[in-house]
Amino acid sequence: MSLNGISDEECVLLAQTGNYDALHYLCLRYQKYSYGLAITFYNTNRQSGIMIDDLCSVAQSTILIAIKNFSNNIQLFYPYWRTIATNALIKYNQQNSYYHHAKTFNGVSLDQQNDDYFSNDQIIGEPDLTMEKGIVEDTFLEIINDSNNGFTETEKTVMILTIEGYEPAEIMKIFKWTKSQVYYALKKAKEKLSSAISQKKH
């Protein structure tokens, strides 16, 4: 079925009646829109520490919701979807942002002038990656890269670099992230890593 020349609103109505071609067409089109919206949101919220890929996934997750709930009597579909997607991005940012304008975390100073005193030991409260000495680096990497363990792209990045021996101050300089971004990424990644290790033991 050719959908060329058919409006988004008409495609949505077709998709709502079970037309797979219309649904597929809309999903492909709005995946591109999702990426554009993610970039726009990222550029105005760089301090959040959330990566574009994560934001894009959030925006894409709203496509089917918007198609299901859209009524042609309301408005055009694009602004309707964009409103839903933007609200989802704002909520995700609030729940997952590493940036809280705080001065300290667990006694660790987040003053940008004190980079030399900001170490992994301070952040996670113990020597790097020693919570289970019997587990080798390959196992750590396997856990981190397993999508079932819920690591965000930021958490993966900082944890992998930490395993490779980079200090938080170095990670900050590489990505131009704030201390709070790196702190939260490492803290949350360590919690997820510990949880995954615990599950493997049972």
Are residues 152 and 54 in contact, defined by beta-carbon separation less than 8 angstroms?
Answer: yes
d(CA 178, CA 171) in angstroms, rounded, equals 10
Give one DSSP letter per residue of 122-146, joined into a string: HHHSSSTT-TTTTS-HHHHHHHHH-
Single-letter code of the amino acid located at 152: T
Q: Is residue 186 predicted with pLDDT exceeding 60? A: yes
* CATH of range 8-96; options 1.10.1740, 1.10.3470, 3.30.70, 1.10.10: 1.10.1740
Residue 201: per-residue pLDDT = 59
In this predicted structure, which of 10-24, 111-125, 170-184 has the lowest mean pLDDT? 111-125
For range 170-194, the mean pLDDT? 78
Residue 110: per-residue pLDDT = 44
Single-letter code of the amino acid located at 47: Q
Residue 102: per-residue pLDDT = 41
Q: Give the mean pLDDT of the chain.
A: 75
Selected residue with higher pLDDT from 81 and 164: 81
In the chain, where the domains are located: 8-96, 104-201
* pLDDT tens-digit map of 106-155: 444 445 444 444 444 444 444 344 444 444 567 777 888 888 888 888 88
For range 27-43, the mean pLDDT? 90
d(CA 49, CA 152) in angstroms, rounded, equals 10
Selected residue with higher pLDDT from 118 and 79: 79
d(CA 80, CA 74) in angstroms, rounded, equals 9
d(CA 8, CA 108) in angstroms, rounded, equals 51
Residue 53: per-residue pLDDT = 84
Residue 12: per-residue pLDDT = 92
Count other C-beta atoms under 10 Å from residue 168's C-beta. Answer: 24
**Collapsed DSSP state (helix, strand, coil) of residue 54:** helix
Q: Which of 17-31, 84-98, 126-140 is most confident? A: 17-31
Residue 136: per-residue pLDDT = 52
For range 167-175, the mean pLDDT? 78
Helical H runs in the chain? Answer: 8-16, 20-44, 52-60, 63-69, 77-96, 120-124, 137-145, 153-163, 168-175, 179-201
For range 66-90, the mean pLDDT? 87
Are residues 59 and 88 in contact, defined by beta-carbon separation less than 8 angstroms?
Answer: yes
* pLDDT tens-digit map of 39-74: 988 888 776 777 888 888 889 889 999 999 898 776
Band of pLDDT at residue 33, cut at 50, 70 and 90? very high
Are residues 23 and 66 in contact, defined by beta-carbon separation less than 8 angstroms?
Answer: no
d(CA 150, CA 73) in angstroms, rounded, equals 39
Give Dmax over CA atoms of the chain in angstroms: 63
